[in-house]
Structure 1
Amino acid sequence: MKQLQRLCQQEERKLSQLGRQRGEAQQRIESIAQQQRSLGEMLDEYQQYSPKVACSLLLQNSNNLQLALRPMQARLTRQQILLQQEHLRVDGLWRQQLGRQQGIKWLYQKRKQDKIELNNRQEQKQLDDLASRARTNRS
């Protein structure tokens, strides 16, 4: 019974650890998405300069910044894809662990309840035996 209780606690710790990893992966994905939005806004802003309105130096700077930002955007996209795959992997592990932990917890509770019921039956049997002896002695 103690071993099952210990196993149940171990599984809960594993579940908690996977839950933290899952949350951290989700936060990293959200951070990357925010960075991508910021880069996208910057690119949109630099693309808005028209040759009619802007001077050649401003156009050159805008073009250079766009050339610098595009590889950053591509790297962020790759990072986001990898993080999403990692998140899916950890989420799958977390779901497996949740099922395992719940199964072990159910088994532990069942055995604990069975033991209580057995003790109650044994106690009732002892009381019945005592009552039977008491009736026999009165006769």
Structure 2
Amino acid sequence: MKQLLKLCQQEEKKLGQLGQQRNNAQNRINGIEQQKQQLSQMVTDYTQLSVSGGMAMMLQNSAQMIQAIAPMQKQLHRQQLLLQQEHQRMDNLWRRQLGRQQAIQWLYQDRQQELQYQQQRQEQKQLDDLAGRYATT
């Protein structure tokens, strides 16, 4: 019974670790999404600056900045895709671990109830035997 309890605790610990890894992956995805939004805002700002007109130098600088931002956006997009795949993998592992942990916990509780039931039956038998002795005297 102690081994089953220990196994149950180990599975809970694994579940917690996987949950933490899953949350970390989601947080990294959220961070990349914020970076992508910031870069998109920068592109919008530089585009508006170009459209509003201005000196040739400003137009050229805006165009260069937009060209410089494009590879960063592509890189962030690739990172986001990879992180989403990693998050999905971690989520699948977490779900499997959750099922395993719940099954082991259910087994532990079932065994605990069975043991308690057996102890109650044994106590009742002892009380019945004791009552039977007093009844015959």
Normalised-by-shorter TM-score class: over 0.9
Q: Cα distance, 1:54 vs. partner?
A: 1.2
Q: Cα distance, 1:47 vs. partner?
A: 1.1
TM-score by length of 1: 0.96
Amino acid at match of 2:73: Q
Amino acid at match of 2:135: R
Q: Cα distance, 1:49 vs. partner?
A: 2.8
Looking at structure 1, the residues matched to 60 and 44 of structure 2 have their Cα atoms a distance apart, in angstroms, of 16
Aligned to 1:128: 128
Q: Cα distance, 1:52 vs. partner?
A: 7.0
Aligned to 2:43: 43
Looking at structure 2, the residues matched to 24 and 59 of structure 1 have their Cα atoms a distance apart, in angstroms, of 41
Amino acid at match of 2:27: Q
Q: Cα distance, 1:82 vs. partner?
A: 0.5
Aligned-partner SS, 1:53: coil
Aligned to 1:9: 9
Looking at structure 1, the residues matched to 97 and 115 of structure 2 have their Cα atoms a distance apart, in angstroms, of 27
Aligned-partner SS, 2:49: coil
Q: Over aligned residue pairs, what C-alpha RMSD do you find?
A: 1.0
How many equivalent pairs are there?
137
Report % sequence identity.
Answer: 57
Aligned to 1:34: 34
Amino acid at match of 1:10: Q
Unaligned runs of 5+ in 2: none
1:107-122 aligned at under 5 Å gives the runs 107-122=107-122
Moved over 3 A (4+): none
Aligned to 2:104: 104
Shift of the 5–44 alpha-carbon distance from structure 1 to 2, 3 Å rule, reads same
Aligned to 1:58: 58
Looking at structure 2, the residues matched to 24 and 82 of structure 1 have their Cα atoms a distance apart, in angstroms, of 14
1:91 maps onto 2:91 in alignment: yes
Unaligned runs of 5+ in 1: none
